[in-house]
Each structure stands twice: as structure tokens, then as C-alpha cells.
Chain A
Amino acid sequence: MIDEYAIGLIIALIAVIITFVAAIRENNDIHRLIIADLAEVSALAIIALIATDLAEALIIPGLVVGISELMALSEIYLTREGLNSPVKKPFRIEVLDTAPTIIAVILVGYGIVLSGFTGGAVAGTGMIFYFMGKRHAERFALIEAVSGYAWAFWIVAFFIFMVIPEYWFFAVMLAGGAILAKVTAKMSLIGTMRGGNNV
């Protein structure tokens, strides 16, 4: 008798075998790196086949391990190939000079209305667009400080939930605002990554 789990497992294992064969046959280093990442995705699929909450909880650490290994290996690859100097060719089209401010204002405003993680993501997208369009002689330390304080407020909100749950509404507002500021600040840094001196 073959149940769904066995069928899924067989399919996932076939995918794993195909990936491993590809990894053996591939000679290009960067392609091998990508294939190795593909193999990790299939490992996550094997975990996900269990289809319980526990499996979901196990996927996240697995994902984190995979991403950290991928990042470490990419850095090693860049260092080995001497690819550390950034390619200085900023992307310029006319709309990037005129549109960023208004679009950033709209997105940040909408993000603040949404609040919480989603709002942070929306506002952060606006900030990324702004920083990518405009010159970015910004104060990174300030953005990082805002993000740090926001994190502290977020933790304070959790303590309020645990210690004095009567004030849950205040804690919700605090956590929502803080996570908004934190996600926005973190995401806005992406828009400034152009390989300048401070980045």
C-alpha cells in the first residue's frame, strides 16, 4: 500500500537524485553552488512532506542553515575570484529622477496605515525605491539606531504581553509601530547597497 507520504517521498528522492547527478557532472563552480542550493530546497521539501506544525517549525532552521551556507560560499567564491570591486554603473532612467519622492510618500503613508510587519514591508519598498532613485548620502548610523530602538520597543511589547496582559492594546500598538519602523529601516538599507565606501 502506497500512501501520499510515500508517493511524495519517492518524488522528492528522485528530485534529490537528479540534483546530485547534476552536481557531480557540473564543472562550473558557480553552477555547482546553485545546484547545491537546489539540493537544499529538496531537503526542505522532504521535511515539508511530514505536513505537521512541527515540520513547519523545523523548516525555518533548515532554511536558515541553508541560506547561511549559501552566503558563506558566495563570499568565498567572490574572494577567490577577486570579484570584490563593485561594478560602478548605476541604473539611470528618467523616471528615477522624478517618481521616487511621490511613490515613496504614498507607500510609506500606506505602510503606516497598515502598521505591523506588512506595513513595514510596504513602507520599506517605498524607501528602497527612494534610495535607489535618489543619491544616497544618508546617515546609515541613524537608520541603524532607529532600527535598534524599534527592536527594543518590540521586545518591551512582548514583556507587557507576558507580565501585564491587561495592557494588551498598548502592547499591540507598541509592537505594531516598532516592527513597522524596524522593517522599514532594515529594508531601506537594501536600496543603498551600491557598493559605495560605507556600504
Chain B
Amino acid sequence: MFELSSSSVGGQELFVLPFGDIVDYFTPYTTALFLFALVFTLICIFSKPEKQLDVAFGTDAIYAKDVTGKELHFRRFMAIACGFATMGAVASGDVFNFTLFVSMVGVCIIGIVAAVKSKHVLNAAYNYGIISMLATVPLFGGAAITLATTGTLSIWELAAIAPAMPWIAKALILIGVMGEGIAPFYAAKAELFRAPGAPYVIMIHVSSLLMFLRVVEIMLTV
């Protein structure tokens, strides 16, 4: 029933779950991404927060900071939500749902960063949040232009039409995903490592990486 016209990236579909026009699907490529997100979400669920060690340079002294799981409840929750959003974005077969899940990843990353009550970390979270709010404009704008020009948002149908998405929509979505989901572009990440909460920070990296891989696949397919 469903055919991806270009199988160079996605490959054969393994599982298809249609909700009317919205079709969630897995190809070998997205399955790998999905499993990756799943594994890291499980790590976030089951791991204990690590204790941060500060080394005093020039001496042998090491200071261990005491971090309890209770302090990190919110970050754990946000990391898990981020994992689910990533899984949703990876499995989504709909351009608009993809952009929505990417924005959700953005909100969750703000949550992971902002849970630390420290001025420089909050500052980083705030700046990241401003960027991710601005990034919703190209993100949703790209999806809207796609809908207006092609009349559909389903990646399946877009892959079937020959000149599917206009290049401007592709460019806008790419810029949007960069701004929204791909945290490495921001100082927020550098600031993060000065805050406790090791296993949860990983979720930011994982989701950024997976968002990037998925958006490349979508751009090449449609």
C-alpha cells in the first residue's frame, strides 16, 4: 500500500501504522535511530546520577559533590520526555508531526538545562530558549509552505510526487531543526557540563544527533 519512492536512504519499510493520512513507519534506518533513542531513554530511567568530582589542580585533592536523585527528579523526567519526543520524531511519517516532535525536543532540552539553580546555567538555558522559540518560525513555516505547494504533509505521498517539496521549504525546515533540536550550536552545552546530572545530559546529545540524522533522511527522501 505504501511505497517510498527513494529507497536509497530509508530502505524497505518494516512496519507501517496508518492513522488516516498520518502514517508512522519504520525503515531499517529509522528503526536503528529508534532503538538508539530507546536504549538511551532506558539508561536515563534506570541510571543513578553520578557524583561530580572537582580536581584541585597541582595537588592530589579531589572534591566530591553530593548529588542525590531527588534533586534530579525533574531533569530525569525531562530527559525521559526528551527520549519519547525523539522516538516520536524518528517514527513520524508526517512533516508537521516531525516538526512538532522537534519542538518538543527543544522544550525538553530547555527543561533539562534549566533544572539547575545556577545563574550561568539558567542564562544559557534562557538564550537557548530564545533561539528555539525563534527557530519555530522556519520550522513551522517550512511545513506550512510544503502543505501549501504540494497539498500534503505525508512523507509517503511527498516521496511519490516527483518535484515534491520546494527547496525553500526544505531549507527552512533544516534551519528550524538546527535551531530547535540541535543543541551543539549553543554555549548551553558547555555550561551544562558545569552542572551536575550526568546521565540526563546525554539525552541532549542523543536527541540532537538523532534529529539531525532523521532530518537528513527526510530531506533526501521527499
Q: Which residues from chain A sit less than 8 Å from chain B, CB to CB?
A: 5, 9, 16, 19-20, 23, 29, 32-33, 36-37, 39-40, 42-44, 46-47, 49-50, 54-55, 58, 61-62, 65-66, 68-70, 72-73, 75-77, 79-80
In the complex, are the beta carbons of A40 and B130 less than 8 A apart?
Answer: no
In the complex, are the beta carbons of B106 and A69 less than 8 A apart?
Answer: yes
CB of B147 closer than 8 Å to a CB of A = yes
Q: Which residues from chain B sit less than 8 Å from chain A, CB to CB?
A: 96, 100, 103-104, 106-107, 110-111, 114, 117, 119, 122-123, 125-126, 129-130, 132-134, 136-137, 139-141, 143-145, 147-148, 153
* Alpha-carbon distance between A58 and B99 when the two chains are bound, in angstroms: 11
Pick the contact of A46 from B103, B129, B130, B145 — CB < 8 Å?
Answer: B145
* Alpha-carbon distance between A72 and B128 when the two chains are bound, in angstroms: 12
Pick the contact of B136 from A23, A40, A77 — CB < 8 Å?
Answer: A40
Least CB separation from A29: chain B residue? B126
* Alpha-carbon distance between A80 and B107 when the two chains are bound, in angstroms: 18
In the complex, are the beta carbons of A58 and B136 less than 8 A apart?
Answer: no
A-B contact count (CB 8 A): 100
Chain A residues whose C-beta falls within 8 Å of the C-beta of B130 in the assembled complex: 23, 32-33, 36, 73
In the complex, are the beta carbons of A62 and B140 less than 8 A apart?
Answer: yes
Asked if A61 meets B100 with Cβ closer than 8 Å, knowing A47-B140, A49-B144, A72-B111, the reply is yes
Chain B residues whose C-beta falls within 8 Å of the C-beta of A5 in the assembled complex: 148
Least CB separation from B119: chain A residue? A80
Instruction: Give the 10 A-B residue pairs with the shortest CB-CB distance, closest first.
Output: A36-B133, A80-B122, A43-B137, A73-B129, A47-B144, A65-B103, A46-B141, A43-B140, A50-B148, A76-B114
* Alpha-carbon distance between A5 and B166 when the two chains are bound, in angstroms: 15
Least CB separation from A23: chain B residue? B134
Least CB separation from B113: chain A residue? A76
In the complex, are the beta carbons of A76 and B136 less than 8 A apart?
Answer: no
> In the complex, how many angstroms separate the beta carbon of A166 from the nearest chain B beta carbon?
28
19 A-B contacts, Cβ less than 8 Å apart? A23-B134, A36-B133, A37-B133, A39-B137, A40-B136, A46-B137, A46-B141, A46-B144, A50-B148, A58-B140, A58-B143, A65-B107, A66-B133, A69-B132, A70-B133, A72-B114, A76-B110, A77-B126, A80-B122
